[in-house]
Amino acid sequence: MIVTFIGVYLSGLVVILMLMTTVWLISLVVKDSSIVDIVWGLGFVVVALAYFALTNGWGVRRLIILILVTVWGLRLTLYLGWRNIGKGEDPRYQRWREKHGEDWWWISFFKVFLLQGVAMWIISAPLLAAQFHGGPRTLTLFDLVGVFVWMVGLLFETVGDWQLARFKANPANKGKILDRGLWRYTRHPNYFGDSLVWWGLYLVAVAAPWGLLTIFAPVLMTYLLMRVTGAALLERDMKKRPAYAAYIRRTSAFIPMPPKPERPQPPQRR
């Protein structure tokens, strides 16, 4: 049983590597490595479909996990595609392209596409655990709570993205900081929602045998969102804005909390 599980899991890695290699080749043609961001959500849909085809677990739970991943993944892909296509390469990747020069075409495969593919594969473990085993053949409390947590996460992510897109679309807001709506309670409602989605998927996996052991997946996703590619990376640039310092002082970094009251800052010495 363990050997079979690992075999299916490794098959998922092969599927992901094929997808990321294809996207890498496309990036060479369009000269835009940031298209990898658009494919991030879609990649999980593809590997979830692969697990669905290769497993014989309880049909209801398999279908639930597939639907949840598909809704989340396609929403994220469509949103990022709408936001990014036609806007040029993301500045993060531009800096890497300038740094590595003519060698970027092959370095990008390892530094961007392969790295994200491996992360995607590791994080996909609960998607397999939820679909692999035949029991329990009934919905458990973990299934129900997992779906609820997923719904809350998707709501935060979707509403947060919508509020930010609407804010940026208004020319009068140029240079300003969004601190209304969900952004009043957390500086990154979209990333918090993304993390919550994966904790919900993990809880559904916990309903099946071995699902509990895949806790490394939501932990890794949360860490990446908070410390690596998500909130931390964004705030490196945002902290340069004077108004953002005040926003940081009163607003929770990740988990939604009531905003702190503004405290007067001591005058600076000359």
Helix (H, G, I), strand (E, B) or coil at 108: helix
Residue predicted with more confidence, 239 or 18: 18
CB hemisphere CA count around 184 (13 angstroms): 6
Residue recorded with tokens 């473990």: 125
Backbone angles phi, psi at 89, to 5 degrees: -70, 140
pTM, rounded to two decimals: 0.93
pLDDT (tens digit per residue) in 113-135 = 999 999 999 999 999 999 998 88
User: Looking at the predicted structure, is the pLDDT value of residue 14 above 70?
Assistant: yes
pLDDT at 265: 58
pLDDT (tens digit per residue) in 166-192 = 999 999 998 889 999 999 999 999 999
pLDDT (tens digit per residue) in 200-217 = 999 999 999 989 999 999
pLDDT at 263: 66
Burial tier of 121 (Cβ tally within 10 Å: 0-12, 13-18, 19+): buried
CB 216 within 8 A of CB 122: yes
pLDDT (tens digit per residue) in 43-93 = 999 999 999 999 999 999 999 999 999 999 999 999 999 999 999 999 889
Query: What are the Cα distances from residue 54, in Å, to 7, 49, 62, 182?
Result: 10, 9, 11, 40
pLDDT at 264: 58
